Structure 1
C-alpha cells in the first residue's frame, strides 16, 4: 500500500460496491449504505446488481454497515451515491446532500472526503462542503479537506472495470491531491490523471457523457431522416465507417443514470449563470423522443397493413436500460411501452435480466415468460441481451403471426434471412 488511510465508501450501488471491493482486496474497508436490506444482502455475499462476482465479494475485507458510528473509524470517505434528475429534468441532489450530512456526522480533523457522484462544476465546494461543515462543526481547508474523482463505472462491462479505467483525481490543495492520488493509485492499475482543480474534474465528468449523448442524438436524427427516404441507417453508417476518422456511433434509446441524465446537470448550471445551451438541449430532446417516435412508426405500419390496432398483440423484448444489466432505472424502453398503451394496447414485456417485482413497483409492468409470447402482430427487440442474440430466426418467428412486424432497435437480427420471409423487419 502506498498510503495509510482508512477508506470508507458511502453508497454501495453500481458505482460504490466495485470501488469498495477493489480497496477491500488490499486493506480493510468500511462499506456504508442507508438501505438495510442492501447491507444484509452484501453481508450474505450476494450482489443483486451483478457487478461483483460472489467470490470477489467474499475475498474483499469489507465491513458492511448502515451505522454512522462505524464510519467514524474512517479518515478517507468516498461518496458514491446516485445523482438523478427529477420530473422537471432538474438535478436531484437529495441523495448527495443526505450522504454529505451522514459523512459530516462522522468527520474528524485531518479527514478527507472525495466525491465520485456526477455533478455540475462547483457542486462539491458550493453544495456539499457547507453541509459537511454544518454537521461536523469543522472548517473545510483547515480541519478537513475535500476532493473529487469522477466515477467511470460502465454497468455490465466485465472488461473495463474500476481498476482498469484511468482515474481522474482532484483536491482542494496540493497536499490533498497527493493523498487522493496515492490512495486511488494503490488499486487502480490503469493510471491516475491529476486534474488542475475540483471544478475541472467535475466538468470533465459531465462532458464525457454529454459528448456521447450528442453524438447519439445526431445518429438518431439521421435515422429519422433516412427512414423517410427508405434508406437503412445502419447500411449508411457501415459505408461511412470506412473513412478513418468517422466516429462509430449508432442510433438507439438513451437511458440509464449517466448519458440520459448528466447533460441536464450541465444545462442546469449553465442556465444558473445566464447561458441558455442550445445544442445540448436539442440533443436531449431528440434522444428523449426516440422511444415514442419508434412506437408511433411501428403502429403506423400496422395500420397500413390493415391490422386492427386495438386488438393487436405487441411484444417488447428487453426493459433494462442496457444489455446484460439488471438496472431498470431511467430505461427509455418504457417510452415505447407507454406509447403503445396510448393506442389501447397493453404490450407483453419480456426481460431475462430484470427483477419482476422491481419492474412492477417502478413501472407497473408485469413481465411475461417466453411461452407467453405467441401470435404477435408486432415485436420490438429493444435491448441487446445475450439471450436475444442467441435466439435463432425460428425462435423469433415462433412468436409471430405470418406477416408480422419486427422492430429491431439494436440491429441484432439477420436482415437477409427475414428478407425472404413474410415477416417485415425494420431497423432504426
Structure 2
C-alpha cells in the first residue's frame, strides 16, 4: 500500500527496509520528503504501514516512523518498481553478502536492481548505500539499469554512491555525527546527491572524486578494523606466552596519541568486518595483511576452544554453555557470529551445547541445533564450561554461584569479574589476560 504522494514534497524511494534502510526512510520522511519504502518482506511492509517499526533497540526510530505515518510522508510496498516509479530519488540499501566459500553473493541486490530498472523514470537520481566492491555501482548496477530501462546512464538518469557508516543501536546518532561520503558518476550526479543529503540528513559531507573512491573508502574502513583487531588478537596470544596482561598493554600503549590498538576477542562477526574485506580479496588483494587478518580473526574461535581443552582435557559429553548467539553485545544479529564457529567446532568434539541469548526466543535458538537455556533454570548447575561470546548487558549481573558444576569460564570479551569467578573455584581465562 502506497499513500498518494503530496505534490508539495520531493519524493524518495528507499529500496530495502532493514535496520538501516528503515531508519534512513524515517529520517527522510521527517525532513521534508515523501518516502516510498520497498521491501520483499510482506510482514515488514504491513508493520510500517501501521506506523510501527519491526526493528528493536534503535533509539528514536519508533517515534520517527509513527510521526511520518501520521503525517502521511512514509508508506511501504512489496513492489519495488511501483515505489521507484513514484520517486525522483532512489536510495538502495539491499545487502551484499558472502557465501560459505567467501564468494560475493549478489542475489538480493541483483533482483532489486532489476525491479528498480523496470520502474525508473527519466531524470531520476539513483544512489547506492549498500557496501560494494569498487566499480560495482557503475559497471555492475548502473550498466544493468541502463540495459533494462533503456535510459542512458549520465544523460537520462543520474548515479551516485554514498556508503552507510552507522552502528546498530545508535544509527540516528551516527547519521548526525558521521560525515557522509558522496561520490558521483559525473559533476551533476554528485551535485544532486549532495544537495539531497544536505536536506535529508543535514550532516557534514565529504565529496570525493568518483564513485569508485567512495566505494573504496567504505571497504577500507572495515579492512582497517579487521586488521587492527587481528593485530590485537595476535599480540594477545603472544602476551599470554609472556605472562603479560594485554588489557593493561592497550591502556598504556594507547596513551600515545598515534597508537590505536583495538581490543582482542574471541572473534568478529556481523554484516561488516568479516564480510567486506572479501570485496577486496576477491577482486585481487589476495596477499598481505587483508587476507591474513581474516584468517587470524576467524581462527580465534579455535584458539579459544584450545585454551579450554587444555583445562578440561576433553569436550566429550561435557555441557557447554555459550553466552551470546549475536555477534556482539546488545543486538539481535547472528550474521557471521563467532557463536556459529564455536557451535560447529564444539559439535565436532561431541560436546552437549547450550546457548543463552536474551535477544532471541527459544525457538530461534533451537534452529541452530543447540539447546536454549535460561540463566534462571536449575539446569545451569549441570554446566561444565561457560563461554562468553557476546557481552549483553544482562550478563553483567550473572551469579556464577549457580554454576555449581562449572570447571572453566572462557571470557571471550574480557568483561566478566575474574576474581568473583575464581573465588568460586572455577578456572577463569580471558583473551590475552
Superposition TM-score, scaled by structure 2 size:
0.90
Q: CA deviation at 1:4?
A: 6.5
- SS of the equivalent of 2:394 reads helix
Q: CA deviation at 1:256?
A: 0.6
- SS of the equivalent of 1:218 reads helix
> Would the aligned equivalents of 1:5 and 1:183 in 2 still touch at CA under 8 Å?
no
Q: 1:364 to 1:71 in 2, by over 3 A?
A: farther
Distance 1:158 1:134 in 2: 35
After TM superposition, the structure 1 = structure 2 runs for residues 49-60 of structure 1, keeping only pairs within 5 Å, are: 49-51=56-58, 53-60=61-68
> Would the aligned equivalents of 1:382 and 1:408 in 2 still touch at CA under 8 Å?
yes
After TM superposition, the structure 1 = structure 2 runs for residues 17-36 of structure 1, keeping only pairs within 5 Å, are: 17-26=22-31, 27-36=33-42
The corresponding residue for 2:143 is 130
Number of residue pairs aligned between Structure 1 and Structure 2: 413
Distance 2:291 2:278 in 1: 8
Q: Which deviates the most, 68-77 or 16-25?
A: 68-77
Distance 1:158 1:398 in 2: 37
Distance 2:274 2:384 in 1: 31
In the TM superposition, what whole-angstrom CA distance separates every residue of 1:260-310 from its partner, at most 9, and x where no partner exists?
100000111125xxxx4321100110011111221222122111xxxx632
Q: CA deviation at 1:381?
A: 1.1
Distance 1:63 1:163 in 2: 23
Q: Which deviates the most, 106-115 or 49-58?
A: 49-58
Superposition TM-score, scaled by structure 1 size:
0.91
The corresponding residue for 2:323 is 317
> Would the aligned equivalents of 1:320 and 1:383 in 2 still touch at CA under 8 Å?
yes
After TM superposition, the structure 1 = structure 2 runs for residues 6-85 of structure 1, keeping only pairs within 5 Å, are: 6-26=11-31, 27-44=33-50, 45-51=52-58, 53-60=61-68, 61-67=73-79, 68-85=81-98
- SS of the equivalent of 1:425 reads strand
Distance 1:239 1:186 in 2: 43
> Would the aligned equivalents of 2:330 and 2:359 in 1 still touch at CA under 8 Å?
yes
Distance 1:43 1:256 in 2: 28
Q: Which runs of 5+ in 2 are unaligned?
A: 1-7
Q: Which deviates the most, 192-201 or 53-62?
A: 53-62
The corresponding residue for 2:389 is 382
Q: Which deviates the most, 320-329 or 369-378?
A: 369-378
The corresponding residue for 1:423 is 426
Matched, 1:397 2:411: no
Matched, 1:340 2:350: no
Distance 2:385 2:132 in 1: 40
Matched, 1:182 2:195: yes
